[in-house]
């Protein structure tokens, strides 16, 4: 383990630091392996979608949906790593992979992801009031203070929230998609010369294509 200085966190000796594992090859990008896994995950994701649209038995469609979800999780993980420039080590390639995996295939605006996750979340991980990733109100209470401040049926629901939580957190993907679109609209409104405004069409087209496939089926 290695002590690494981190601004904004004080310790008894007056310095800011956190523990970070330093293992040989841990931080070295493995582009061939990463891209190979990405191709596999994309095939699984699209194959599951095809099975869901083509197959008739309900249990096969449910299985196809689970397979597609598994692939989408892998694609999203590659997108997460690419947003941190750790897939290939190339800024341009990792940036392109971020748009491909997050925006095109998962409908998450990459610009919003960089703002929400890379800049905000990693600057203050799970810091209530700063990191929106950890803000689950009003649907779920995160700590005793939020539970204590709740009134009425919210207080009762928070007492049993551990039961619906696994299902509710799955909807976080939809929230991230719609918040991303709203972020891009706000970001590019009144800035016609700002480069990248066209990226707004990618998450919108992603969600639209899913709706069209569902209606066609």
Q: How many domains are there within the chain?
A: 1
pLDDT classification of 120: cutoffs 50, 70, 90: confident
Structure tokens at 209: 């294509």
Residue 212 in any domain: the answer is yes
Position 22 pLDDT exceeds 60: no
Within-domain flag for 148: no
**Quick one: what percent of the chain has pLDDT higher than 90?**
33
Query: Does residue 1 form part of some domain?
Result: no
State yes or no: pLDDT of 176 exceeds 60.
yes
Cα–Cα dist 33/55, whole Å: 32
Question: E strands along the chain, which residues?
Answer: 2-5, 17-20
In a domain, 9, yes or no: no
- Is 200 a member of any domain? yes
Residue 160 lies in a domain: no
Kindly state whether residue 137 falls inside one of the protein's structural domains: no
pLDDT of residue 35 exceeding 90 = yes
Beta bridge partner(s), residue 3: 19
pLDDT value at residue 75: 95
pTM value is 0.72
Domain containing 122 equals: 28-130+167-216
pLDDT digits (tens, 9 = 90+) for 153-163: 989 999 999 99
Question: Residue 161 domain-assigned?
Answer: no
């Amino acid at each position: 383990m290695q002590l690494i200085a981190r601004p904004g966190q004080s310790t008894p000796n007056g310095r800011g630091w956190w523990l970070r594992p330093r293992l040989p090859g841990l931080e070295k990008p493995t582009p061939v392996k990463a891209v190979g896994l990405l191709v596999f995950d994309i095939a699984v994701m699209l194959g599951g979608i095809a099975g869901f649209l083509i197959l008739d038995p309900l249990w096969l469609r449910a299985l196809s949906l689970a397979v597609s979800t598994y692939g989408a999780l892998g694609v999203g993980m590659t997108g997460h790593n690419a947003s941190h420039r750790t897939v290939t080590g190339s800024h341009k390639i990792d940036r392109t992979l971020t748009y491909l995996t997050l925006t095109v295939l998962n409908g998450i605006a990459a610009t919003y992801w960089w703002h929400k996750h890379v800049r905000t979340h990693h600057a203050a991980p799970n810091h209530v009031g700063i990191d929106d990733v950890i803000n689950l109100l009003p649907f779920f209470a995160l700590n005793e203070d939020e539970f204590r401040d709740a009134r009425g049926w919210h207080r009762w629901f928070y007492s049993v929230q551990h039961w619906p939580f696994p299902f509710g957190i799955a909807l976080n993907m939809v929230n991230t998609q719609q918040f991303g679109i709203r972020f891009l609209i706000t970001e590019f409104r009144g800035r016609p010369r700002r480069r990248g405004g066209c990226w707004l069409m990618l998450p919108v087209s992603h969600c639209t294509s899913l709706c069209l496939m569902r209606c066609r089926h």
